[in-house]
Amino acid sequence: MRIVAQPSHVPALPTTLRAPDLPEPCDDARRHSDRLNETIRREIDSADGWIGFARFMELALYAPGLGYYVAGTAKLGGDGDFVTAPEISPLFGRTLAGQIAELLERTGGDVLELGAGSGTMAADALDELQNVNRLPRRYLILETSPQFMERQQRTLQERHPALKDRIDWISALPENFEGVVIANEVLDALPVHLVAWRHDGLYERGVCWKNGLVWSERPLRPGTLRSAAEAIGAEADYVSEISLVAPALVRSLSAALRNGALLLIDYGFGRREYYHPQRSQGTLMCHYRHRAHDDPFFLPGLQDLTAHVDFTAVAEAGIDAGLKLLGYTTQAQFLINSGITQLLEQQPADATTSRFALTAGVQKLLSPAEMGELFKVIALGRSIDGPLIGFASGDKSRLL
Ligand SMILES: C[S@@+](CC[C@H](N)C(=O)[O-])C[C@H]1O[C@@H](n2cnc3c(N)ncnc32)[C@H](O)[C@@H]1O
């Protein structure tokens, strides 16, 4: 599962921690990682020996043909590195569809899903939207990974052949969008900067090459990142992430949204909790074959890198771009408000999905010890009035 109850720790300078007890990759996979390492090394050389962590993370996850999300292994599911909510229970996507249906009732238009993974959430949501007779005009998917796109096409072709004409993949955000944008666990996969608040000032953590990838800190230059770090004002010694990319994505989505809402689901907190004095090593986390560890330099290209989401930054980006904060709550509260328990009761238990398995899946989504509390749902909208079912009880005050 792509969650951990406690955030992990960025290794201390200057050593590179080698994650112990991780399974060995096969020769092909190791060669693949070596090629990506070589690309990163060349980029470090041509940047006078240092790149910021955000650039390293971008290359590790998205370098053309080599990055974790654009090449390589299974990633999602039992054979992969992590499992997400739609893979845990079909009731996740179906419950989310209840909120989508309510929004579509007011906005009409399309659904746009970002980073749709295996396509399971899309297929489950479409099942339910069909059940309640509220199919969107089109179900669009914007996916950066060619491998995931292929998988989504297979899933949706198998499960919804009759909706073929409504489902489409797009390669860039539409200029004018009307409807509902959804994204589950996409914001946490976007590159983050690492900042160190030290006794003698602010530093950006980055990466050098000394017989391999090693950490290196540089004084933080004036600019957007430094202003954000100064505003956070953590007490030394403190290391954490600042995401400039996630708010930028929200700004782009806001600019595209004429009428409708963004529903974003991910693990994270509001800013006060995110930069809590006790979370002094940040939330950066690596996932490799269902093991979570804290060494981002371990086999680049073969493991996922992720950081929790600062939902205050997400809300502020939307509000600054003219959207209204419609709701913010925990995943558990959102799913309960949206009727997951009623859906569970209505579910016929068949041979392949026993009631026990369905209940266990829902339990994982809702349990405070698993995904229920750490994961949050935020809704931002334009021209949407009135309360939304998913946030009927929920608390926005922890956010701004
Ligand atoms: C952790 S996976 C989550 C997949 C899926 N939403 C789920 O819940 O199973 C992250 C997904 O986001 C995609 N992605 C990353 N950056 C993206 C971006 N800027 N726009 C759209 N998709 C993106 C990845 O390719 C991948 O499909």
Residue 162 has pLDDT above 60, yes or no: yes
93 lines ligand 1 (CB under 6 A): no
β-pair type (238-242, 193-198): antiparallel
Q: Which atom of ligand 1 is nearest to the CA of 148?
A: 27
How do residues 257-304 score in pLDDT, each as one tens digit?
A: 999 999 999 999 999 999 999 999 999 999 887 788 889 999 999 999
3-class DSSP string for 198-224: ECCEEEEEEEEECCCEEEEEEECCCCH
Instruction: Give residue 168's Cα distance to chain centre.
Output: 22
In the reported structure, the alpha carbon of residue 120 is separated from the centroid of ligand 1 by a whole-number distance in angstroms of 13
Q: Over 50: is that where the pLDDT of 18 sits?
A: no
pLDDT reported for residue 82: 76
Ligand 1 centroid from CA 143, angstroms: 7
Helix (H, G, I), strand (E, B) or coil at 373: coil
Q: Could you tell me the CA-to-CA distances from 139 to 50, 103, 124, 163, 340 in Å, in that order?
A: 42, 14, 12, 9, 22
The CA 350 to ligand 1 mean position distance, Å, reads 31
User: Which numbered atom of ligand 1 lies nearest the CA of 82?
Assistant: 1
pLDDT tier, 214 (very low <50, low <70, confident <90, very high otherwise): very high
Residue nearest ligand 1's atom 14 by CA: 115
Residue of 120, 186, 285 to test ligand 1 pocket, by largest number of atoms within 8 Å of CB? 186
Question: How many Å apart are CA 229 and CA 216, to the nearest integer?
Answer: 18
pLDDT digits (tens, 9 = 90+) for 175-206: 999 999 999 999 999 999 999 999 999 999 99
pLDDT of amino acid 25: 80
Give 330-344 pLDDT, tens digit per residue.
Answer: 999 999 999 999 999
Ligand 1 atom nearest the C-alpha of 87 is 9
* Nearest alpha carbon, ligand 1 atom 7: 117
Burial class (CB in 10 A: 0-12, 13-18, 19+), 254: buried
What pLDDT is recorded for position 74? 62
Strands 167-170 and 139-142: parallel
Strand 324-330 and strand 375-382: the pairing is antiparallel
**Where residue 112 falls among pLDDT bands split at 50, 70, 90?**
very high
Output the pLDDT for position 72: 62
Spatial separation of the C-alpha atoms in residues 216 and 208, rounded to whole Å: 6
> Which one, of 259, 395, 258, lies nearest residue 329 by Cα?
395
- CA–centroid distance, 200 to ligand 1, in Å, is 38
Q: Is the CB of residue 90 below 6 angstroms from any atom belonging to ligand 1?
A: no
Is 115 near ligand 1, meaning CB less than 6 Å away? yes
Question: Could you check whether the bond before residue 28 is cis, i.e. omega within 30 degrees of 0?
Answer: no
Q: Quick check: 301 and 385 in contact, CB under 8 A? A: no
Check if 189 has its Cβ closer than 6 Å to any atom of ligand 1. Answer: yes
Q: Is the CB of 145 under 6 A from ligand 1?
A: yes
Q: Is the pLDDT of residue 17 over 50?
A: no
What is the pLDDT, as a whole number, of residue 30? 87
Average pLDDT for the chain = 90
Q: Which amino acid residue places its CA nearest to atom 4 of ligand 1?
A: 117
Is a pLDDT exceeding 80 seen at residue 321? Answer: yes
**What was the pLDDT predicted at 8?**
31
The answer to whether the CB of 51 is under 6 A from ligand 1 is: no
Q: Is 191 in the pocket of ligand 1 (CB under 6 A)?
A: no
pLDDT at 9 over 60: no
